[in-house]
Amino acid sequence: MTTCAVFAPARVNLIGEHTDYSGGLVLPVAVDLGMTVAGWLDEGAIRLRSLAFSEPVELDCNGAPRGPLAGWGRYVAAVAQLLDEHGRPPVGFDGTISSTVPIGAGLSSSAALTVSVGLALCRVADFELPPLGLARIAQAAEHLAVGVPCGLMDPATSLLSRRGHALLLDCGSEEHRFVPLPPGLAIVVLDSGVRHELEHSGYADRRAELERCIAAIGGRNPASLTVAQAEAEAEAAGVDDVAARRLRHVVSENERVRKCVAALEQPGGPDLKALGALFRESHESLRSDFEVSTPELDRLVDLAYESGAIAARMTGGGFGGSIVALAEAGRAPSLVAAVTTGYAASVDREATGYICASVDGAGDVEPGSVED
Ligand code: ADP
Ligand code: MG
Ordered DSSP codes for 180-235: EPPTTEEEEEEE-S----GGGSTHHHHHHHHHHHHHHTTS--GGGS-HHHHHHHHH
- Ligand number, closest to the Cα atom of 138: 2
pLDDT at 70: 79
Handedness of CA 200, 79, 81, 4 (dihedral sign): negative
103 CB within 6 A, ligand 1: yes
Amino acid 371: pLDDT: 44
Report the distance separating Cα 297 and Cα 265, nearest Å.
Answer: 28
Residue 235 has pLDDT above 50, yes or no: yes
d(CA 352, CA 362): 25
Q: What is the pLDDT of residue 348?
A: 85
pLDDT (0 to 100) of residue 347: 92
Q: What is the pLDDT of residue 33?
A: 97
Note the pLDDT of residue 148.
79
Q: Specify the ligand 1 atom closest to the Cα of 101.
A: 20
pLDDT of residue 1: 61
Find the ligand nearest to 116 CA: 1
60 class by beta-carbon count within 10 Å (0-12 exposed, 13-18 middle, 19+ buried) = middle
Q: Which class for 236: exposed (0-12), middle (13-18), buried (19 or more C-beta within 10 A)?
A: exposed
Nearest protein Cα to ligand 1, atom 4: 108
pLDDT on residue 195: 85
Bridge pairing between strands 363-364 and 322-328: unpaired
The residues, any chain, with a CB within 8 Å of residue 310's CB and separated by 6 or more, are: 185, 272, 275, 276, 325, 326, 327, 328
Cα dihedral sign, 157-267-279-187: positive
| CA 319/CA 315 separation, integer angstroms | 10
Rounded to an integer, the average pLDDT of 206-214 is 93
Residue range 240-245: mean pLDDT, rounded: 94
Residue 304 clears pLDDT 60, i.e. is over it:
yes
Give the model's pLDDT for residue 368: 61
Lowest mean pLDDT across 14-23, 190-199, 266-275: 190-199
Q: By three-state DSSP, how is residue 103 classified?
A: coil
Identify each DSSP E strand in the chain by its residue range: 3-15, 25-42, 46-50, 57-59, 92-99, 165-170, 176-180, 185-191, 311-315, 322-328, 352-356, 363-364
Q: Is the pLDDT of residue 338 over 80?
A: yes
pLDDT band at 197 (very low <50, low <70, confident <90, very high): low
Residue nearest to atom 24 of ligand 1 (CA): 50
Beta carbon of 109 within 6 Å of any ligand 1 atom = yes
What is the 113 CA–ligand 1 centroid distance (Å)? 7
149 lines ligand 1 (CB under 6 A): no
Mean pLDDT of 323-350: 96
Domains, the chain, with CATH or none:
3-177 (3.30.230.10), 180-356 (3.30.70.890)
The pLDDT value given to residue 370: 45
Mean pLDDT of 109-137: 97
Catalytic residues: 154
Q: What is the pLDDT of residues 128-177, one digit of tens each?
A: 999 999 999 999 999 999 987 788 999 999 999 999 999 999 999 999 99
**Ligand 2 centroid to residue 238 C-alpha, Å:** 34
Average pLDDT over residues 234-241: 94
Q: Is 198 in the pocket of ligand 1 (CB under 6 A)?
A: yes
Residue 65 carries which DSSP code? B
For residues 304-309, give the mean pLDDT: 98
Q: Whose CA is nearest to atom 19 of ligand 1?
A: 109
Q: Which atom of ligand 1 is nearest to the CA of 196?
A: 6
Q: Is the CB of 117 under 6 A from ligand 1?
A: no
Cβ(71) – ligand 1 distance below 6 Å:
yes
Burial (CB < 10 A; 0-12, 13-18, 19+), residue 363, is middle
Does residue 318 surpass a pLDDT of 60? Answer: yes
pTM for this predicted structure: 0.94
| Position in ligand 1 atom list of the atom nearest CA 142 | 7
Q: Which is higher by pLDDT, 106 or 332? A: 332
Number of neighbouring beta carbons within 10 Å of residue 85 = 11
Nearest ligand, CA 197: 1
pLDDT of 2-24, one tens digit each?
A: 799 999 999 999 999 999 999 99
